[in-house]
Chain A
Amino acid sequence: DTGVSQNPRHKITKRGQNVTFRCDPISEHNRLYWYRQTLGQGPEFLTYFQNEAQLEKSRLLSDRFSAERPKGSFSTLEIQRTEQGDSAMYLCASSLGVAGGQNTQYFGPGTRLTVL
Chain B
Amino acid sequence: LAKTTQPISMDSYEGQEVNITCSHNNIATNDYITWYQQFPSQGPRFIIQGYKTKVTNEVASLFIPADRKSSTLSLPRVSLSDTAVYYCLVAEAGNTPLVFGKGTRLSVIA
What residues on A are CB-neighbors of B87 within 8 Å?
Answer: 42
In the complex, are the beta carbons of A106 and B46 less than 8 A apart? yes
Q: How far is the CA of A101 from the CA of B100 in the complex (A)?
A: 21
Contacts of B95 in A (CB 8 A): 31, 95, 97, 99, 103
Stretch at the interface among B37-45, B60-68, B70-78: B37-45
How would residues 23 to 63 of chain A score, 1 for a CB under 8 Å from any chain B CB and 0 otherwise?
00000000101010000111111001000000010100000
Pick from B41, B98, B102: contact of A105, CB under 8 Å: B98
Q: Do A89 and B32 touch across chains, with their CB atoms under 8 A apart?
A: no
A104 touches B43 (CB 8 A): no
- Chain A residues bordering chain B, tally (CB within 8 A): 32
Q: A81-116: contact bitstring with B at CB < 8 Å (1 yes, 0 no)?
A: 000000001011101010111111111111010000
- 9 residue pairs, one from A and one from B, having the closest CB atoms: A42-B100, A107-B43, A103-B94, A45-B97, A107-B44, A110-B43, A103-B95, A43-B100, A91-B43
Q: What are 21 A-B contacts defined by CB distance under 8 Å?
A: A31-B95, A35-B98, A40-B102, A41-B100, A42-B2, A45-B97, A48-B97, A93-B43, A93-B98, A95-B94, A102-B32, A102-B93, A102-B94, A104-B46, A104-B49, A104-B94, A105-B94, A105-B98, A107-B44, A109-B42, A109-B43
